[in-house]
Amino acid sequence: MIPYPEIGIFGSLLLAGAFLPQCYRLLNTKSAKDISFFYPAVLSVGSFCLTVYGYGIHDVIVFTLNLYATFCNTELMLLKVYYDRKNRKAAVVQ
């Protein structure tokens, strides 16, 4: 028998954790020039929709992991905006 719940949990954990290396890199390099704004924005909306879905079906795993993914994607989007503005101001000063 295929362990579908375990596969779903594992996949959700991978997807939710996939944003950590990108956020870590953004914080270290202090540059987000290679990231499109729309990528984390669309992922944030999609994760939020899945969070609402998880809440609606009373699935704690779907709800929790997508809530975490929503926060990570939103953080990525905010870092993109912050570093783009900061680097644009630094370029104008020079």
> Angle between the 60-93 and 38-56 helix axes, to the nearest 10 degrees?
160
Query: How far apart are the C-alpha atoms of 8 and 90, rounded to whole Å?
Result: 45
Is the model's pLDDT at 94 over the cut of 80?
no
pLDDT tens figures, 57-76: 998 888 998 899 899 889 88
Q: State how far the alpha carbon of 18 is from the alpha carbons of 3, 31, 50, 55, 94, in Å.
A: 23, 19, 17, 22, 36
pLDDT higher at 94 or 47: 47
Residues 6+ apart with CB under 8 A from 9: 61
The domains located in the chain, with CATH, are 4-93 (1.20.1280.290)
Give the global pTM.
Answer: 0.77
Query: How far apart are the C-alpha atoms of 21 and 23, rounded to whole Å?
Result: 6
pLDDT tens figures, 16-56: 788 888 888 888 888 888 888 888 888 889 889 989 998 99
